[in-house]
Structure 1
Amino acid sequence: MGDPANDPSSWTEHTHNDGRRYYYNKVTKQSSWDKPQCLKSDHEKLNTTSWKEYKTADGRDYFYNPVTKQSVWEMPLELKRLRGMDKQEDSDDEQEEEKKEEEPEWKTPEERRAAFRDMLLDKGVKSGMKWEEAAKLCQEDRRFLALNTAGERKQEFSVYVTQTKKREKEEEREKRKRARDDFVEALGKWPDLKPDARYKDAAEYLCESECFKLIEEDERDELFQDFMDEHEKKLKEDRRKQRKEYVEQIKKTYDEHSNISVTSRWQDVKEALRDNETYKWLSKLEALTSWEEWTADVGKSEVETKSKAKFRHERKNRDAFRALVKEHHEQGKIKVSTVWQDYVKDVKSDAQYLDILGQPGSTPHDIFDDLVEELNSKVKEDRAKIKKWAKAAGMTISSASTFEEFEETLQKQEGYAQVPEDTVRGVFDSLHQKAKEQEENAERDAKKSRKRFVELLQKTREVTASTTYEHAAKLMGGSSAWESVDDQTRKQCFDIFVDQLKIQSAARKGKDKDAGSGGSEAERKPKKKAEKGKKRAQEEPPEEPPEKKSKKTKKK
């Protein structure tokens, strides 16, 4: 019997979990990563180099040199020569192949570390593995040699383990979070779910589920209580929505039932609806409340119908009286100056007035006031138009102006014909009165100014019968009494005042002369009285009536 190790029938080819091929001898019970010599092809037997051929997990061929620790995708030049493939390529191709073989597969350190981490992930290295276990699992992978030294590999392995633990913790948190959601969802699908369900019953139903096992007991209990609170709230909300629908249905039944009216007794209504499904769904309180609401709605509807009819009748009465008031205005019975006490005497016997008495809303007095207010607004608009037309025509109203002149000027304005004559006359009277008052005020102010000026002359001792106007201007020109009178009036008043002074001076000289010539005492007394009266008359200011002195009461 031959050596089982060299018997091809004793060997079988298998694929590892990571995709690598290995060979098993069913006789010797041995496994080998390397292909047995008896199974090699002629080309493989000719391989006297250090290169070995392997396959990745996805079935891709690569070549590894355990001596130089180098991995390449392309077949090394030594193997091509041994297999006679070099005859099919020219020398330039060989040089290019050699150049490619010399080029590293990973160009940067980061690419090398990334390739090493990808290998650990592809091999299924767990975060709890030790470095020796991971190295044994991955040492046949070409990416194991992406990092040149053992220290670099071990360091990158530590980084991988840290990241993996962090990722596993995050995945665990997400898993627990999903478990809580799945637990709540499972409670919602529980066939025996009732408002009075207990946690113990739910735990018996869900104890074999994965979500139940991932959650702590206290948290499960709390989730169950929260779920039941929400479930109860949802049931109440659903019943509330359904109750609204059922209440509307039962009210419709009240409307359609021949034996039910707003005057029916509740006991009779219950007896009539005892077999009604909608009535049975409602609780006793809900059914009674629906009946009370229905009777209130029906009664309210009847009241509204009656109220509408009454309101329409009252509105017709108000419209009729309003039409009567408007008609009287067109007939000239109501004007802006008309007052309610006078008007009501004329309509107190009319049917329109009697029909509206005692009604709610606008009274006859209110309707009359509305019309008068409207007329007032119209009068204001017309007065504004008249004043605007007068201003545009350049008309100035004085105390001497007449209505005929005013009317003749305004007749040319557009829209004048639509303005009532009473309004035009009222505007003229107002403007005429205002002009008279202004003129009277001006005359009064002028008199006061003249009086103040004369008083100024009387108080100024420097002014004598021989004083000239120019000299007086220098003496008193800065006083307000002087400036309050125009120049012409000042001269007139000054001349009159000086003339009086001259008369008084001449009278005194005559008196002295008479006293020197003698005469009886009886003859001199009448002359003296006459001179005193004349003197008082001359001292009074011209064109000015004497002022009345106010009497002051003296305390005893």
Structure 2
Amino acid sequence: MKESLKYQKASDIFSKEPLWIAVNDEDRKEIFRDCIDFVARRDKEKKEEDRKRDIAAFSHVLQSMEQITYKTTWAQAQRILYENPQFAERKDLHFMDKEDALTVFEDHIKQAEKEHDEEKEQEEKRLRRQQRKVREEYRLLLESLHKRGELTSMSLWTSLFPIISTDTRFELMLFQPGSSPLDLFKFFVEDLKEQYTEDRRLIKEILTEKGCQVIATTEYREFSDWVVSHEKGGKVDHGNMKLCYNSLIEKAESKAKDEEKESLRRKRRLESEFRNLLKEHNVDKDSEWTVIKPKIEKDKAYLAMENDDERETAFNHYKNGTSGTTAGSEILEKKKKKKDKKKKNKRSDNNSESEGEIREKEKKKKKKHSKEDRMDDEERGKKSKKSRKRSPSRSESPRHSSEKRKRRESEAD
């Protein structure tokens, strides 16, 4: 009994069988159809079981073959399979459905690719962890140099290279991709420079707590001792400390200069008031200090002077017809002398020109004037033609032409 067997053919085959004859024709046909359906289901189930068995066996064979990788093509796989003893023993696999075999092979390749990608990703992660560890070790080297004060925000690669290049952590950095040792050094220094604002604030807090003040004569060693001796001073970068010191010293010097200028202005003002006081008491060259002093010692201008030596000195200067040379007057005198010297040098440079150069300049000047005269004559001729067309009887007055000639000569000069 097969699924393809027809009822007429079955009737010819079983016509002499007693069971076949014992059943009427209608019942035989119905029973035959039921039997055919059963055989069809049975054969289909068996075929599906055989297919699943072959697929599992073929997949197992592929997995056991190391020669087949994620790069292997189907044509290459077929040649490898026929050379494999395990595949050769399974004769049933030779008659396996080609489409099923190709599907199993594709699934095997996809799994191999997935495993390869996972292995590659794991390897990349491992390499990244290793490279990150090397960079962290190198950064620890830079931090150790920073703690010792050898690496600061003002450090240069050329100055620290002899120290860094002898360390094994520097050598390991050279054998991996990504940021170079120089790049990480620059990043580290940039971070220190960006820390300047915070370091400056911290330094000011330390100086305030210690009650220390930076003046123009404060040395860097003294300033550094103030900062480092504080518990928070270890966080401050030495390069930023130096920059902060320079800034504070510059401010202190500027303040001292301003105070000195203010003191000088105040001194000149007091001297001027004192001279006016002497003038009011008609001091002359015959006056004596011992006589004038009792008369003015209660006056504000007298009391404003610091001591008797300054008062007597100012008195003598006034008495001798001089008001004393102050710092301001000295500066003005020096500037005046410099200006006079520059003018004198300029005149001497002009006088030192050679006679040939002077003649050459005069020739150029004459040529320029003659060219301008020609242009003026041409322009005047054109204007005269126009004026003749407009009013033939009217002519230019001598006075008007002389004024024009004078103006032209002055312009040429």
| Higher RCO (CA-CA < 8 Å; seq separation 6+) | 2
What is the TM-score when the length of structure 1 is the normalising length?
A: 0.32
Higher helix share: 2
Q: Give TM-score, length-normalised by structure 2.
A: 0.40
Q: Rg: which structure is higher?
A: 1
